[in-house]
Amino acid sequence: MKEWNFKVKSNPKEISAKLESALGPTNGFVFNTDNDRNNSITFKIRKRILYAWYLIFSNNVIVNGKLSKTATENETNVEISFTQHFLMILVVITNIILGLGFLITIISGISSETSIYIIGGILLIFGIGLWIVIKKRFDRKAQEYKALISGVLEL
C-alpha cells in the first residue's frame, strides 16, 4: 500500500465533483463516493473491467481517498492510498505456497520423484517472478493515477 497526502485550496464537494466528472463511468473508471459523519468525503477509484483477464492488465490498483476540511477556510486535506487488488495478491501467494509445498514434500521424504522437483521449482520461480512483475506494474500504475489526479486537481 502506498499513501499520498496533500492539501488543495478548494471545497471538498468541489473536489469530489471535479474527480467524478473527470473519472466517472464515461471515462472508463468506477468512482464511488460516500459522505462520512464528520463532514469528510471518502471515494474509491478503479478502472472498469469488461473481461476477466482485464484484471491482470489494467485493474490491479484500487485508489481509496478521503477529502476532509482543514481549519483554514476553503482548504481541503486529501489523503489517497493505492492498494493492490486482492485477487492479484492471492494468485502470487498461491503460486509461491504450491511451489514451496512441492519442495517441502520432496525434502521431507514423502516423495522422491524428480518431476516434483521440477514442478515445485517452476511454480516457485513463476510465483517470485510474477511477484516482481506485479510490484513493478503496481508502482507504475500508482504513478499514472498520481499524474491523472494531479492533472484533474491542477496541483
Percent of the chain with pLDDT over 90: 3
Query: Which single residue is written with the C-alpha cell 474509491?
Result: 44
Segment 103-132, tens digit of pLDDT? 787 777 776 777 777 887 888 888 888 889
Q: What is the largest CA-CA distance in the chain?
A: 71
For 43, residues 6+ apart whose C-beta sits below 8 A from its C-beta are: 16, 19, 31, 32, 33, 34, 64, 65, 66, 67
The residue that leads in pLDDT, 26 or 154, is 154
Segment 22-48, tens digit of pLDDT? 877 777 777 787 877 667 888 888 877
Helix (H) or strand (E) holding 30: strand 29-35
